[in-house]
A and B are shown apart, each in its own frame.
Chain A
Amino acid sequence: MELHSLNHYAYKHNYLVNFSMTLSALIFNFSKAQNRKLSGGITCRGLRIQEVSMAGKAKELIITGDVNITLKVLELTTSGAPKLNMMMKYTEQNIANKLKGETMDYGLVLSDYDTKANKFNKNIPAIYNVRYKINYLVRLEQVKTLSQLSNNDFVLAIVDRIGLKTDKYATGGLTAHGDVPATVTYNEWCKYPNIATHEFFHTLGLPDLSGKSNSNNLMFEIASKTNNLVSNKELANMNAYLMEDVVSISEGNYSNQSFNTVKKLRNFLNNPTNGFKYNKAKFR
């Protein structure tokens, strides 16, 4: 079985936690021996692109294929996280469910697509309507040390407490707009299982929502056990973030560019204004 088939198999059968973890380790070692890079928040191996032209209408590209999203979880609590695996599994499924669905992006500035050569000509700009039919294969992976984090990884840090607040409410999660890392407090994550998905979606560029009409939305600014809706517009915005580098993605094996993850995580957690309380012995 080829390496990418093994990888694909592992993602498709991710409910077999132990098996897939063993398989991941096997794939990792195999790739290491072959010097093949697998790390990165967004990775994929070749998307299918089809150009559709209709008289009097704007040119349309239909993009289909599998894209892997890996979110690395760094547990930094003082008294341990006994429910961590369960919470990770729930969040993995929740993120995958919320990213399901077809979206359309109108009037996108890309490079000209050569249908005969089946590739983009990077030097010639062109405007397309783009239809995304992407199957996102989401995976949460626990890491124990900073050395297991690459600079192009997404990361979710699990901490004891976040001191930063603007009003009477305590804080359960903190993330900067469109940036890594995302953070949640362990106790609040256990009480409100959707908050890790909420924080990760800030990484994918979604803002907080306020107002009573948005109280059922996942991105509502106050945590709840029931708010878990994602609008089509939000899905379209996340698709646009994940597929922004579609010209490079279409060329074959793809890993996203550096987010400078390790440095950003270090700065974010050690910024005194954020007021993080976490087990510093685990941050190594």
Chain B
Amino acid sequence: MDLNTIKLSLGNLLMILFFTAGCINKTKVNDHTDTNSAITDTCKLSFNKGYEIGSNISCRSCHAQSEQRNALNLPTMRELSRMDSLKLSNFLFITKHKKNLDFFKDSPISMLRLKRIDSLSECDRKNLVHFIKEYSRTHKYILKIPNDTTIK
């Protein structure tokens, strides 16, 4: 009887240990998955990359770089840069541009640009928003001097 009780207790103990180990392993696997997803979800924001995307789409054809608006009365680049980033990314690419489709319908290149904006990848979109936001933050360019002539 005692022996059976000991056997049962040991069995229970083993079962508990087995489940506990299983849970620990599962937690570890979950942690690992989270780490992986964090690593793969990196989109390095770069002003120059954003400039390149904006230059290819040619934002400046419609949105003036200076303070003066054009005849279509579209917001300037600086006015766009003062908008909230979330608002920019949510509305700039789709809703706001659709308002002007009638005006642009006879200009194939303008239509192509609008389509290009909507087909940007998530990372390119983030970089473009970053570039637009930097317009009002006066992004600084540092010209580097090669090491052999570095001033001490």
Residues of A within 8 A of B (CB): 58, 105-112, 122-127, 161, 164-179, 184-185, 187-188, 191-192, 195, 198-199, 202, 205, 207-210, 221-224, 233, 237, 240-241, 244-245, 247, 257, 274
**Considering the chains assembled together, what is the distance between the CA atoms of A1 and B1 in angstroms?**
127
A125 to B58, Cβ gap below 8 A? no
B109: chain A residues within 8 A (beta carbon): 58, 106-107
Knowing A111-B71, A245-B66 touch, does A198 contact B143 (C-beta < 8 A)? Answer: yes
The smallest beta-carbon distance between B142 and chain A, in angstroms, is: 5
Q: Does B36 contact A (CB under 8 A)?
A: no
B62: chain A residues within 8 A (beta carbon): 109
A202 to B141, Cβ gap below 8 A? yes
A122 to B71, Cβ gap below 8 A? yes
The smallest beta-carbon distance between B33 and chain A, in angstroms, is: 34
Indicate which residue in A176, A179, A208 contacts B48 across the interface (CB closer than 8 Å).
Answer: A208
B55 to A176, Cβ gap below 8 A? no
B135: chain A residues within 8 A (beta carbon): 177-178
A257: chain B residues within 8 A (beta carbon): 66-68
A171 to B142, Cβ gap below 8 A? yes
Interface-lining segment among B84-92, B122-130, B144-152: B144-152
**Considering the chains assembled together, what is the distance between the CA atoms of A169 and B61 in angstroms?**
37
The 4 A-B pairs at the shortest CB distance, nearest first, are namely: A173-B143, A169-B144, A125-B71, A107-B109
**Considering the chains assembled together, what is the distance between the CA atoms of A187 and B152 in angstroms?**
13
Residues of B within 8 A of A (CB): 47-48, 51, 55, 58, 60-62, 64-68, 70-72, 74, 103-104, 106-110, 113, 134-135, 138-147, 149-151
B72: chain A residues within 8 A (beta carbon): 109, 125
A165 to B142, Cβ gap below 8 A? yes
- B77: nearest residue on chain A (CB-CB)? A178
Main secondary structure of the interface of B (DSSP, over half): mixed
Indicate which residue in B48, B138, B145, B149 contacts A207 across the interface (CB closer than 8 Å).
Answer: B48
B150 to A124, Cβ gap below 8 A? no
- B47: nearest residue on chain A (CB-CB)? A207
B151: chain A residues within 8 A (beta carbon): 161, 170, 185, 187
A-B contact pairs, 20 of them (CB 8 A): A106-B61, A108-B61, A109-B72, A111-B70, A124-B71, A125-B72, A127-B106, A164-B140, A168-B150, A169-B145, A170-B149, A171-B145, A173-B141, A175-B141, A177-B47, A177-B140, A205-B65, A221-B144, A222-B146, A224-B146
A107 to B141, Cβ gap below 8 A? no
Indicate which residue in B66, B104, B110, B150 contacts A244 across the interface (CB closer than 8 Å).
Answer: B66
B145 to A188, Cβ gap below 8 A? yes
